[in-house]
Chains A and B, each alone.
Chain A
Amino acid sequence: MIESLIGFAVLLLIVFMGFPLGFAMVAVGFVGFGLVRGWEPALEMVGQLILDFAMSYSFSVLPLFVLMGAFVYRAALSEDLYDASNAWLGHYKGGLAMATVAACGGFSAVSGSSVATAATMAKVAMPSMRRYRYNENLAAGTIAAGGTMGILIPPSIALVIYGIIVEEDVGKLFIAGIIPGILTVALYILVIKVLIAVRPELGPPGPWTPWLDRIKALKGVWGMVALFLLVLGGIYLGVFTPTEAGGIGAVGAVLFAISRRKMGWRAFFGALVEAGQTTTMVFSVAFGAIILSNFMNISGMPNQIVDWVNSLDIAPIAVVLVICLIYIALGCVFEGIGMILLTVPIFFPVVQSLGFDLIWFGIVVIMVTEISLITPPIGMNVFVLKTILPEMSLWGIFAGIGPFFLADMVRLLLVVFIPGLALYLPGLMG
């Protein structure tokens, strides 16, 4: 136990100095393993693990879904999505912000990345909210918070990574994200409704769209809906494995982009290379996480944490709540994928031994990770917005996020205390 605590402290120190997270984990994991178990087994472990995981079929789900997202990003559908949401919601008070939330949810359903969702939606939603004199902070907060749904609503790169570490079925994790995703859209829209009820000047209504035009506006998004239903429906019905769904989704996304005349050779090659770079970035940390967690395991850390927790004689759910609090605190300095890869190997054995479902815990982890994207001082989505809207102040964006942060807390508690929200749908898969 003491070895892993020292190891973890060293790891944090060198990581905070700017050492690449993956390399740091490999180094600490190897040295720790060597000190506890001996150098010969440690050398063997590193080589064996990297080769096994680098040649794992089930991990190919990651590059394929990243690729699907890269193609979707190039299909430039955000405008059509926003127009369609706007046609249906824009005429309400605060309707343009609600439309932004809905469009973010829609974009998340084909993209697995929160940063991409926030970046894309900022470019289309911000100008039109400005035209209708929406409060700038509300507008930016809506986009930053709405963007976080990218990693909750399937397909999700973060869920794939979680699934890889805990060796759970990525398909079930995807399906588990659906109801919490819909809940998020509903809660965010509720937040906007409440804000507007108190201060109507924050978001004046947009124009009324005739019914015929509303139907017409859906034309631009049907392909995207079809792609989502194909990928998620296929997984849900067991027609194909998550990896196959990724392959089908990527091909579907290319065809979708071609049909929208957005896919030239250059964009095609660009998407492939981008997917490759993200794959390398994620796997170089994932290998480190797996080597590190091997060291933690042989040093007996997870077991001892479990024993310690049991000796405290507190309700298991209290442990989960403490873990959530740790995550929210960590989320202020850590970011997305790095946080998942660093913490999940430590927490999941504890949660598992307390008798909780790892699919459910995955959704909880993703939700606290979403929160990390919008909490000061470091919130990736906020920084993305700031790059796209340089004229806005960072604190203005954070202020706009405030009400959505409260909604995130409500949502987190709902899913923690009503696991069925995450587990009902995957339970039907058999």
Chain B
Amino acid sequence: MAQEEHALGEDGSRPEGVFEAVLMVMVGTAIFLMMVITFVDVVGRYGFNAPIPGGFELIEFLMPLSIFAGLPIITRRRAHIVVGILDGWFRGRAGDIRKLVVDAASLAVVAFIAERMWAQGDGLAEAQIESGYLEWPIAPAAYAIGVLSAVTCVVLLLMVGRDLRDLARGQR
């Protein structure tokens, strides 16, 4: 069943450990800045005839952070949208195996994304692609997505490790 908007209220926003706290500060800051930039941009445009130069592009650079800094958190909390209609069929040992397969396959997908984004970054860095107005290099944005995906891979690796332990414990 889908777990959309599981984070009702404030419980979902309390960090568990330094690791989550750092990521949460990154996400929170990115979204906060996006809010402030759009607001100031509009007020500046209509009130003072002075929009933020390149405000548009600032938002574009903040977007990857607001999307991917949350990925390790969501993954660790198993808060991804799932439609597991059949997962109830897997009980006991079969359930442990299912969990292991799902986590391992998720690891493969996220590792793939990390590698792709890093390659994308290399391509952009080589071609020295810059944004149109601010003339900021685009490559760091791709690298950032790559790194945050790689962090998610570490999270998934730990989850796979725990799955294996559960499986081994179940066997005894």
Contact = CB atoms under 8 A, between A and B. Distances in A.
B1 A51 contact: no
A116 interface: yes
Contact of B109 (A26, A116, A266): A26
A270 interface: yes
A335 B4 contact: yes
A104 interface: no
B68 A337 contact: no
A43 interface: yes
B129 to A, nearest CB: 11
A86 interface: no
Q: Is the interface of B mostly helix, strand, loop or mixed?
A: helix
- How many residues of A sit at the interface, in one of the four size bands? 35 or more
B5 A116 contact: yes
Contacts of A115: 4-5, 8
B1 A279 contact: no
Contacts of B84: 15-19
Contacts of B98: 17-18
A248 B39 contact: yes
Contact of B31 (A21, A267, A272): A272
Contact of B69 (A27, A47, A276, A380): A276
Contacts of B41: 244, 247
Contacts of A277: 7, 12-13, 27, 70, 73-74, 79
Given A19-B102, A47-B117, A380-B1, A276 B70 contact: yes
A244 B1 CA distance: 33
B102 A55 contact: no
A287 B2 CA distance: 17
Interface string B1-36: 110110111101110000000001001101110111
A154 interface: no
B127 interface: no
Contact of B5 (A43, A247, A278): A278
Contact of B63 (A19, A27, A59): A59
A206 B110 CA distance: 56
Nearest to B124: A51
Contacts of B67: 54, 279-280, 283-284
A113 interface: yes
Contacts of B83: 15-16, 21, 333-335, 338
Interface string B58-80: 01111110111111011000011
A397 interface: no
Interface string A19-55: 1111100110010000000000001001110110011
Q: Is the interface of A mostly helix, strand, loop or mixed?
A: helix
Contacts of A271: 13
Contacts of B153: none
Given A46-B113, A380-B2, A248 B7 contact: no
Nearest to B43: A248
A27 to B, nearest CB: 5
A196 interface: no
Interface in A359-393: 378, 380, 383
A54 B106 contact: no
A383 B5 CA distance: 13
Given A63-B31, A281-B80, A23 B110 contact: yes
B145 A274 contact: no
Nearest to B99: A18
A290 B58 CA distance: 24
B147 interface: no
Nearest to B77: A277
Contacts of A23: 80, 105-106, 109-110
Contacts of B13: 269-274, 277
A104 to B, nearest CB: 16
Interface of A: 14-23, 26-27, 30, 43, 46-48, 50-51, 54-57, 59-60, 63-64, 67, 73-74, 113, 115-116, 119, 239-240, 243-244, 246-248, 250-251, 266-267, 269-285, 333-338, 378, 380, 383
21 contacts: A16-B86, A18-B87, A21-B80, A23-B105, A56-B60, A63-B63, A73-B8, A115-B5, A116-B5, A239-B46, A248-B38, A250-B35, A269-B24, A270-B13, A273-B28, A277-B79, A278-B5, A281-B4, A281-B81, A335-B1, A383-B1
Given A244-B38, A273-B13, A277-B73, 16 more contacts: A17-B87, A18-B87, A21-B80, A22-B80, A47-B142, A50-B116, A54-B64, A54-B141, A115-B5, A119-B8, A270-B10, A272-B13, A273-B24, A277-B13, A280-B71, A337-B2
